[in-house]
């Protein structure tokens, strides 16, 4: 037997308990992330029994951070962000400012220094990428308008946190901490300027060289036909760039790995890179959450229960209200406001990274670190329950709140068709619900055939763009009768629904047939079971992606085989 097996013991125990607690969390309808954090608490120094090697766990956590941020970079889409930029960018900034201000003021009222209070509030302001994406995916909302707004909002939060990770070491002494920079005796302005210069040099190098080099390297490796080499290349890019960025440019591992992912996204093999690296990313992200749990002192729940409740209230209520009010002011429906607000009502990996950095810079106390972890554990655990309450809460607010009803009144100029629309285009037209990838392609084909159509779309920015192109479009949820009325469904010949939610589809068809019994309906579905259900209820002709692809490919094969 080897003399020192602390790494093996920590890995075996941590991963084993993470598996057990993760499964229990899933059984209780909670994210597995809660189980991973609990596994870390069990093997941490604050609980009796086996204690994992915290030093080794911290290094494994660094690798987990690199791979987590690499995954964020791989999935970062500037186009998706720009599609919802008018609401996501200012909304994320305002929510971060509100949550940071609330956390800072509360912490300062506990007689914490302003520097520590700021780090504490900042850590409470950013939602978990992992939790939100998985929640939206499980509920089939990832590609919906609400999902796109939430993801765009999250991307802005992540970018701001990446910037803060860069700036905090340079500003540590200004906030009352200890800087880790080698030029600590210089002025704050020099530290900040020098840090920004080095980060800018790194970004320029990655954008000019990495953007061209990484896709070519990935192509060369892919041509070998070796799956192991491809996976090795992807992981080497993530860890190697992160390490090189830290050594040469004093850039954090997180920022280096994030840009490595962004550069690999430029490759045509980016989807394969994401798939091949996923198992390793998942394994090390589990170790990251386990190591975070090891730093948590559960005694904080007994010693400071009021502080824990206040932290949870800021995360659940403060962030949700800030986001929901802002979205309502932008004239989006109450459903969008509640879905996005509740989705962001938790904190996760960036909060942990900020908390760890704050502790290392002597900007955050162990008590503050424990309160952040407690807030994360509780908010992540109850987030699915809060999500399930969105629809009942929405109905309750609409029935009880005059303000909510006024905010949803149809005085929105985008909710009605302009008077300039030719009446000839509003008879026997097609009503097209949804202007995403499928809807846009259908619209192009209708335009080529000179068939009139009206678009009903929840994304207000898309509606504005369509109107600039002289395409009739109304903003709103087509399950609302008022939206279909504005799209002149009563005089339409066909209703095409491209949105993925079968429950919304049913409501739209029922409203459309009530207003126009003769309207024909064409429905997009994502699963064979959905197709069977909708067809069984005679709601219209369904189109399943795999089925239509198979049909068209078979038709092509038959035509070529029967051609003389």
Residue 406 lies in a domain: no
Q: Is 108 within the bounds of a domain? A: yes
- pLDDT (mean) for 148-171: 80
Same domain, 392 and 418: no
Which range in 141-150, 250-259, 453-462 is most confidently predicted, on average pLDDT?
453-462
**Residue 170: pLDDT over 80:** no
DSSP state letters, 203-238: HHHIIIIIHHHHHHHHHHHHHTT-HHHHHHHHHHHH
Indicate whether 61 and 154 sit together in one domain: yes
Could you tell me if residue 468 is inside a domain? yes
Name residue, tokens 């996760």.
348
Domain end residue (candidates: 367, 396, 425): 396
What are the tens digits of pLDDT across the range 133-148? 777 766 767 667 777 7
Q: Is 101 buried (19+), middle (13-18) or exposed (0-12) by CB count in 10 A?
A: middle
Residue 185 has pLDDT above 80, yes or no: no
Residue 333: exposure state from Cβ atoms within 10 A (0-12, 13-18, ≥19): buried
CA distance 80 to 156: 11
Residues 543 and 456 grouped into a single domain: yes
- Does 142 map to a domain? yes
CATH of the domain at 551: 3.40.50.720
Predicted confidence at residue 93, as pLDDT, reads 92
Is 434 found in the same domain as 297? no
Least confident of 35-39, 222-226, 420-424: 420-424
Question: What pLDDT, in 10s, does the model give residues 309-349?
Answer: 999 999 999 999 999 888 888 877 777 888 889 888 988 77
Residues 324 and 219 in one domain: yes
Whether 401 maps to a domain, the answer reads no
Q: Which single residue is written with the structure tokens 């190697």?
A: 240
Instruction: Identify the domain containing residue 445 by its residue range.
Output: 413-562
Global pTM value: 0.71
Residues 105 and 24 in one domain: yes
pLDDT at 67: 80
In a domain, 407, yes or no: no
CA dihedral 549→550→551→556, nearest 10 degrees, is: 90
Into how many domains does the chain fold?
Answer: 2
Residue 141 lies in a domain: yes
Contact residues for 43 (Cβ-Cβ < 8 A; gap 6+)? 10, 13, 14, 17, 49, 50, 51, 52, 290, 294
């Amino acid at each position: 037997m080897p003399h020192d097996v602390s790494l093996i013991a920590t890995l075996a125990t941590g991963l084993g308990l993470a598996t057990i607690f993760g499964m229990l969390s899933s059984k209780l309808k909670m994210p597995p992330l809660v189980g991973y954090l609990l596994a870390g608490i069990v093997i941490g120094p604050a609980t009796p029994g086996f204690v994992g090697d915290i030093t080794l766990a911290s290094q494994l956590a660094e690798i987990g951070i690199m791979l987590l941020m690499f995954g964020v970079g791989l999935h970062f889409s500037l186009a998706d962000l720009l599609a919802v930029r008018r609401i996501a960018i200012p909304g994320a900034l305002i929510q971060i400012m509100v949550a940071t201000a609330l956390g800072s003021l509360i912490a300062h009222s506990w007689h914490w220094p302003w520097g520590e209070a700021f780090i504490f509030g900042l850590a409470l302001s950013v939602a978990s990428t992992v939790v939100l994406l998985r929640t939206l995916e499980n509920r089939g909302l990832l590609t919906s308008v609400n999902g796109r707004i939430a993801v765009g909002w999250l991307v802005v939060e992540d970018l701001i946190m990446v910037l803060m990770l860069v700036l905090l070491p340079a500003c540590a002494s200004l906030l009352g901490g200890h800087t880790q920079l080698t030029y600590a005796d210089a002025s704050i302005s020099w530290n900040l300027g020098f840090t920004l210069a080095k980060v800018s040099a790194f970004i320029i190098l990655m954008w000019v060289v990495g953007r061209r080099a990484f896709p070519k390297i990935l192509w060369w490796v892919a041509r070998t036909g070796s799956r192991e080499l491809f996976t090795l290349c992807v992981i080497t890019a993530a860890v190697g760039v992160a390490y090189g960025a830290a050594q040469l440019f004093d850039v954090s591992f997180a920022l280096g790995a994030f840009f490595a992912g962004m550069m690999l996204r430029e490759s045509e093999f980016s989807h394969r890179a994401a798939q091949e690296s996923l198992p390793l990313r998942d394994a090390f992200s589990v170790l990251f959450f386990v190591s975070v749990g090891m730093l948590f002192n559960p005694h904080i729940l007994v010693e400071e229960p009021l502080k824990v409740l206040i932290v949870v209230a800021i995360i659940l209520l403060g962030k949700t209200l800030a986001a929901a009010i802002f979205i309502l002011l932008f004239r989006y429906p109450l459903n969008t406001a509640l879905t996005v607000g509740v989705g962001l009502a938790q904190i996760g990996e960036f909060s942990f990274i900020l908390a760890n950095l704050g502790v290392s810079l002597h900007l955050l106390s162990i008590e503050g670190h424990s309160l952040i972890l407690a807030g994360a554990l509780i908010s992540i655990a109850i987030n699915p329950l809060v999500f399930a309450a969105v629809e009942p809460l929405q109905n309750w607010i609409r029935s009880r709140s005059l303000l909510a009803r006024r905010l949803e009144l149809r005085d929105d100029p985008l909710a009605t068709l302009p008077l300039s629309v030719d009446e000839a285009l509003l008879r026997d037209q097609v009503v097209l619900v949804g202007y995403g990838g499928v809807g846009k392609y259908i619209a192009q084909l209708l335009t080529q055939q000179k068939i009139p159509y009206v678009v009903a779309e929840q994304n207000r920015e898309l509606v504005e763009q369509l109107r600039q192109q002289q395409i009739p479009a109304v903003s709103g949820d087509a399950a609302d009768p008022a939206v279909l009325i504005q799209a002149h469904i009563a005089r339409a010949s066909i209703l095409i629904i491209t949105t993925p939610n079968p429950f919304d589809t049913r409501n739209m068809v029922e409203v459309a047939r009530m207003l126009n019994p003769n309207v024909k309906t064409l429905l997009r579905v994502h699963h064979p079971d959905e197709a069977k259900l909708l067809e069984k209820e005679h709601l219209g002709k369904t189109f399943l992606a795999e089925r239509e692809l198979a049909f068209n490919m078979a038709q092509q094969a038959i035509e070529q085989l029967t051609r003389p």
